[in-house]
Amino acid sequence: MANTPEQLMRSRYSAYALGGFGEYLLKTWFPPMAKNLRVSELSEKTQQWIKLDVLGSGHTGTEGWVEFKAIYQTNSGKSIMHEKSVFTRIEHQWFYIGGEII
């Protein structure tokens, strides 16, 4: 179990990078925000994740955030995803709520 939002974000990045971990991704998504998501879709590996750079993170009480850049490869070439993700903690467990693409 992740002790901080950054630990959860890093584990979720690994799940996407490896592929096949849709069940884990769904389990760590804040339930009200995950209503229309399916394990099969989350398990698909649609690009090759190359590198993760965490630019900052923090939490106060039950709310947290992580800003990161992730480099990935598709058939079209390399791209960068820059996001500020938000998290919430419920009963000692962190959940991913969503993120703002920067």
Q: What is the pLDDT of residues 16-39, one digit of tens each?
A: 999 999 999 999 999 999 999 999
Rounded Cα gap, residues 90 and 101, in angstroms: 25
Rounded Cα gap, residues 72 and 65, in angstroms: 22
pLDDT at 93: 97
| pTM, full prediction | 0.93
Domains and CATH numbers, the chain: 5-101 (3.10.450.50)
pLDDT at 34: 94
Q: Are 7 and 15 in contact (CB under 8 A)?
A: no
pLDDT at 53: 98
Is the pLDDT at 11 greater than 90? The verdict is yes
What is the strand order of the sheet 77-90 is part of? Answer: 48-60, 63-74, 77-90, 93-101
Is the pLDDT at 1 greater than 90? The verdict is no
Alpha helices (H) in 1-102, listed in sequence order: 5-18, 22-27, 39-43
pLDDT at 74: 85
Q: Are 9 and 96 in contact (CB under 8 A)?
A: yes
Q: What is the pLDDT of residues 35-78, one digit of tens each?
A: 999 999 999 988 899 999 999 999 999 999 999 999 999 888 99
pLDDT at 92: 93
* N-term to C-term CA, the chain: 28
